[in-house]
Amino acid sequence: MEDRIRLDIWLWAVRLLKTRSLAAEACRNGRVLLRGQALKPSHCVRVGETIELRRAGCLFQYQVISLLRKRVSANLASECYNDLTPVEERQKFDERTEALRSLPMAMRGLGRPTKKVRRNMDRIQPSTKGQAESDWAGDDLLW
């Protein structure tokens, strides 16, 4: 087995990110760090390194135990790294994902909102149609 492997391949192989292209994109966008420095997708990962991954505003930390070139089952993949993520970060991530799941699908951006969902969205954030005229009408009273 090799003593190093590309970062984007490893992230994909151990199932931290769903596709290799998503792993490469995360690297290019500065969401994958090593000692606070952003990494390129071509960075060679070595056993013992601690990789930091930013997801949904949370910072996950993983220590590399073994290197994989091919994607394997989730059980085998979880044996290839130690999850060093603090409990507070994990709870923050769980809260954010639960809040997102509680939204209706249309509000999550997964399709066109139904009429009922649209009305609920308007109650939360009222439309600004016709508001400009009413805003200017009372301005002369302020001066």
Q: In what order do the strands lie in the sheet with 58-64?
A: 37-38, 32-34, 50-55, 58-64, 81-83
pLDDT digits (tens, 9 = 90+) for 14-43: 999 999 999 999 999 999 999 889 999 999
Q: Where are the alpha helices (DSSP H) in 1-138?
A: 7-13, 20-28, 74-78, 87-102, 115-124, 131-137
Domain of residue 22, CATH code: 3.10.290.10
Considering the domain architecture, whether residues 74 and 101 belong to the same structural domain is answered as no
Considering the domain architecture, whether residues 78 and 47 belong to the same structural domain is answered as yes
Q: What percentage of the chain carries pLDDT values higher than 90?
A: 55
Indicate whether this model's pTM tops 0.75: no
pLDDT digits (tens, 9 = 90+) for 63-112: 999 999 899 999 999 999 999 999 999 999 888 888 777 776 656 666 77
What six digits make up the tokens of 85? 């993520």
Considering the domain architecture, whether residues 81 and 91 belong to the same structural domain is answered as no
pLDDT digits (tens, 9 = 90+) for 45-73: 999 999 999 988 889 999 999 999 899 99
Cα 12 to Cα 32: distance, rounded to the nearest angstrom:
13
Considering the domain architecture, whether residues 101 and 57 belong to the same structural domain is answered as no
User: Domain for residue 135, yes or no?
Assistant: no
Considering the domain architecture, whether residues 34 and 99 belong to the same structural domain is answered as no
Considering the domain architecture, whether residues 11 and 75 belong to the same structural domain is answered as yes
Pairing of strands 44-46, 4-6: antiparallel
Boundary of a domain, candidates 35, 57, 85: 85
Domain count, the chain: 2
Q: Residue 64 belongs to what domain range?
A: 1-85
Considering the domain architecture, whether residues 41 and 4 belong to the same structural domain is answered as yes
Considering the domain architecture, whether residues 66 and 32 belong to the same structural domain is answered as yes
User: Domain for residue 141, yes or no?
Assistant: no
User: Domain for residue 48, yes or no?
Assistant: yes
